[in-house]
């Protein structure tokens, strides 16, 4: 399905991003993975993708808070594969705190990684996509691109910004063979979600089980976490010819959260 295509997925050394990269590779795409983590574990994943799927996979350790490193990553992808055909902006971090106690440095980092990095990658990728007359840009947003939750001011602001960026770029490239969409999952069981549980316990005075039941899944009528494979399947569909008329959309995968 994606043979001869190149996909770059930010924040793809674990969780949703890794599942998307693996799914694209399974369907024939060469992939560029990016993110932080244990170097040995990352190399194992990179080599495993190549061996299992018979594609080329390269790793970039670019820091998504640094525009110059993002530019270098995009240049590396272009030099290696000729162009980025599919761009998935998935890198993200989270921090939970009352607004009056929210650390300024945490705000700056979340906006940089969750929002500004997508601007920098899209800006670099669009010219090559226009030249080819084909491209797919997929932004990992969140139900928090559509609704808010307390104690997550930076994250909600960034995800609302991703929604606006998605729509704006989609309009700009609508006649260039490029689609731009955002996937808006509810709570997906990933290291990012798991890591925010202690802060939420502290902020709300709850136990771990209470956080899962009464905070994380309280808004999802299905009472089930979204899986990384479900998100990856949606991303794959958005790259297909069947989805060529879907652009500027916010694809909800939230167990009915936003329907309430």
Instruction: Give per-residue pLDDT as tens, 132-182.
Output: 999 999 999 999 999 999 999 999 999 999 999 999 999 999 999 999 999
Out of 59, 155, 187, 237, which one is annotated catalytic? Answer: 155
Beta pairing partners, 86? 7, 136
Q: Maximum Cα–Cα distance for the chain, whole Å? A: 54
The single residue listed with the structure tokens 């009915």 is 256
In the chain, which residue ranges form alpha helices assigned H by DSSP? 15-26, 39-53, 67-81, 104-111, 117-132, 153-172, 191-204, 208-210, 228-239
Answer yes or no: is pLDDT of 254 > 80.
yes
Q: What is the DSSP string of 133-163?
A: T-EEEEEE--GGGTS--TT-HHHHHHHHHHH
SS3 115: helix
CA distances (Å), origin 162, targets 97, 107, 113, 122, 193: 21, 16, 11, 12, 19
Answer yes or no: is pLDDT of 191 > 90.
no
Answer yes or no: is pLDDT of 33 > 90.
yes
pLDDT tens for 115-135 read 999 999 999 999 999 999 999
Instruction: Give yes or no: 59 in active site.
Output: no
- Residue 215: pLDDT band (50, 70, 90) is confident
The single residue listed with the structure tokens 């994943």 is 45
pLDDT of the residue at 16: 96
Answer yes or no: is pLDDT of 200 > 90.
no
CA atoms within 13 A on the CB side of 256: 8
pLDDT tens for 18-27 read 999 999 999 9
pLDDT of the residue at 199: 87
Among residues 194, 185, 256, 257, the alpha carbon closest in space to that of 226 is found at 185
- Token pair for 52: 């299992």
- Token pair for 155: 């994250």
pLDDT of the residue at 36: 95
Domains of the chain: 6-188+227-259 (3.40.50.720)
């Amino acid at each position: 399905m994606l043979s001869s295509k190149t996909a770059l997925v930010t924040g793809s050394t674990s969780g949703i991003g890794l599942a998307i990269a693996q799914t694209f590779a399974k369907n024939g795409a060469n992939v560029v993975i990016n993110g932080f983590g244990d170097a040995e574990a990352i190399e194992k994943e990179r080599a495993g993708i190549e061996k299992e799927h018979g594609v080329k996979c390269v790793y970039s350790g670019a820091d998504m808070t640094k525009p110059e490193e993002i530019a270098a990553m995009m240049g590396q992808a272009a030099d290696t594969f000729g162009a980025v055909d599919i761009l998935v902006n998935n890198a993200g971090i989270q921090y939970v705190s009352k607004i009056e106690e929210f650390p300024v440095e945490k705000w700056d980092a979340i906006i940089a990684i969750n929002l500004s990095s997508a601007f920098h990658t899209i800006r670099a990728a669009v010219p090559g996509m226009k030249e080819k007359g084909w491209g797919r840009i997929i932004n990992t947003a969140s139900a928090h691109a559509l609704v808010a939750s307390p104690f997550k001011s930076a994250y909600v602001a960034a995800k609302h910004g991703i929604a606006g960026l998605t729509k704006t770029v989609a309009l700009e490239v609508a006649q260039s063979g490029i689609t731009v969409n955002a996937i808006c999952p509810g709570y997906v069981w990933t290291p990012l979600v798991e890591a925010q549980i202690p802060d939420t316990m502290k902020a709300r005075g709850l136990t771990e089980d209470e956080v899962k039941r009464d905070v994380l899944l309280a808004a999802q009528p299905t009472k089930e976490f979204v899986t990384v494979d479900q998100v990856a399947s949606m991303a794959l569909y958005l790259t297909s010819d069947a989805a060529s008329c879907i652009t500027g959309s916010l694809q909800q995968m939230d167990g009915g959260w936003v329907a309430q």
